[in-house]
Chain A
């Protein structure tokens, strides 16, 4: 079974990808078009309506500042939301075919990350071409940063997908919690613009370390904090181990509750 894990995951990922763009005329082109359109909306609203500025003399423009943290967040939150129902949505399949169920979660979470990582690269290149100070040297380590972020997402997704089988309210709850986490991380604002007392609280949010690191790598905004990053990687691994343990533990009982 282990040997078939990867091709099976790819098959499901391909289906998930086809699902997302099913019925659209340009198919996979939307994967690139969608983030660009979204970016245009954010630029309009934040820069021209809210007149948002990042404090500091050599601060980056607001749009690259937002993009570098918001896109990884979108991948993260979307992966969680979509994969939470991965088991429930495939109840018919699970009831009739024996398969390693982890595949379903990995495929959905992986597809979200793949789509948004591609969009991320595309946007950064567009920003760079339009004269923003985006470091192309930072792109490779930034993509590497997606690895622990994916591990974190996958760990939580395993746990959520397993629990969702039993408690169907989880996905609703998650839909409420994720925006809170988004605003509780320095995505739309800079850590420095908060009162000093509150700044420490930000580190409780698992995404904070990633937002800061992405900006340090790509925009040279702030410094790369090795300690924080190390903790973030450790947390991601712990989440993955715990999520998988929980999933494995509940896996034999899925059929009874689906």
Chain B
């Protein structure tokens, strides 16, 4: 069962730079008479990818990371510039919107053409046509030219064709996003059945929900290279964390020299006793201990606030010593230390930042900030930041004594 359907080794794709029409002529000459390559823009480099039968792989990455190019290389629409890709078995591909439909022809004609492109003969097509039309569910539009379709209808029809072909490997590129809610559900249900039946799927989507629901593995492409590959939850979390970091406002961290001039400053902090700037990796629901040392210029007792924010800056929780009616412990004439323990941290998997701030004794003014990254591992499809304690009420439970 574990035979390789897709095997890519050092796969790369570069497009020639073509600005003027004379470049095209020169490119033609080079292609015909020599092997040397001209200026090229590389969009994909050194991608190794294995997809086994029965596997479901999600491809994620920012726009322009090379996801579509990789799919096109796998389906054979593009020829690799370097490396190789081997695909065994029958591939059903739904690339971009339109899926190769001709706008001037009716849906029915386009279905016939798509079927011929997948090697179906006339009799086979006639047998499956009612099934395709039923799945697409676009009513009388099936006999209208495709140019009159809404984008959702095009996707419906394209997906219906692929669904009826039941390929060994299904490759789809961000098409679910176009369909309406009910069609998305239909597609997701179909894909789940398809996967349960031993089908193999490569799905490109910006919806982590779809990726996590349908895929067991994920591959994250960043600037044409594989940034991370492996278990779907690990990869999607790392990807989301990267996104959050990228969109977080860049905060100018106050310099050390300035820090020691202020009345209260953070000397150091650690998470679970781990010093340094390394992010702490933790499993969901485990305890977390935050320690810090505060310098007080005048020896006054500061208040200390500890906050947890998501990597994009969304606050999750914040608390300070004065709120809880306690104070940091004096460890020197101008030095205080403070320990805070979260017994079972309910943060959902993702990247977070833990911040420590010294405040004036009244707990009003913030003087300094020090922060450490915290990454929570784990597999879950729950949404949001924290896991809220909850239970489902079953009707049978109320009947029970």
Contact = CB atoms under 8 A, between A and B. Distances in A.
A167 B28 contact: yes
B76 A98 contact: yes
A93 B116 contact: no
A256 B75 CA distance: 16
Interface in A207-258: 246, 249-250, 252-253, 255-257
A97 interface: yes
A15 interface: yes
Which DSSP category, helix, strand, loop or mixed, fits chain A's interface?
A: helix
Contacts of A179: none
Q: Which of B21, B79, B91, B117 counts the most chain A CB atoms within 10 A?
A: B117
A256 B116 contact: no
B100 A92 contact: yes
Interface in A91-106: 92-99
A168 interface: yes
A163 interface: yes
A8 B31 contact: no
**What secondary structure prevails in chain B residues at the interface with A?**
mixed
B359 interface: no
B28 A7 contact: no
A98 B28 contact: no
B116 A7 contact: yes
Interface in B91-128: 91, 93, 95-96, 98-100, 102, 104-105, 109, 112-114, 116-117, 119, 121-122
Nearest to A9: B116
B109 A96 contact: no
A34 interface: no
Nearest to B32: A249
Contacts of B15: 256
Contacts of B76: 98
A120 B114 CA distance: 33
A181 to B, nearest CB: 23
B227 interface: no
A189 interface: no
A177 interface: no
A29 interface: no
Contacts of A198: none
Contacts of B98: 92, 96
Interface string A4-15: 100110011001
A92 B116 CA distance: 17
B18 interface: yes
A173 interface: no
Interface residues of B, number: 35
B323 interface: no
B116 A257 contact: no
Nearest to B16: A256
B24 A257 contact: yes
B21 A168 contact: yes
A96 B77 contact: yes
B65 interface: no
Contacts of A255: 72, 77-79
B27 interface: yes
Given A3-B119, A4-B119, A167-B28, A97 B77 contact: yes
A242 B96 CA distance: 35
Contacts of B113: 11-12, 15
A96 B96 contact: yes
B25 interface: yes
Contacts of B99: 96-97
B24 A97 contact: no
A246 B28 CA distance: 11
Contact of B25 (A4, A94, A167, A250): A167
A160 B241 CA distance: 51
15 contacts: A7-B116, A8-B117, A22-B104, A92-B100, A96-B96, A97-B93, A97-B117, A98-B75, A98-B76, A98-B77, A98-B93, A166-B27, A168-B24, A249-B32, A256-B15
Interface of A: 3-4, 7-8, 11-12, 15, 22, 92-99, 163, 166-169, 246, 249-250, 252-253, 255-257
Closest 7 CB pairs of A and B: A252-B79, A98-B76, A11-B116, A166-B28, A97-B100, A96-B100, A4-B119
Given A92-B100, A256-B15, 13 more contacts: A7-B121, A7-B122, A15-B102, A96-B99, A97-B95, A166-B25, A166-B27, A166-B28, A167-B24, A169-B21, A250-B28, A253-B79, A256-B16
Interface of B: 15-16, 18, 21, 24-25, 27-28, 31-32, 72, 75-79, 91, 93, 95-96, 98-100, 102, 104-105, 109, 112-114, 116-117, 119, 121-122
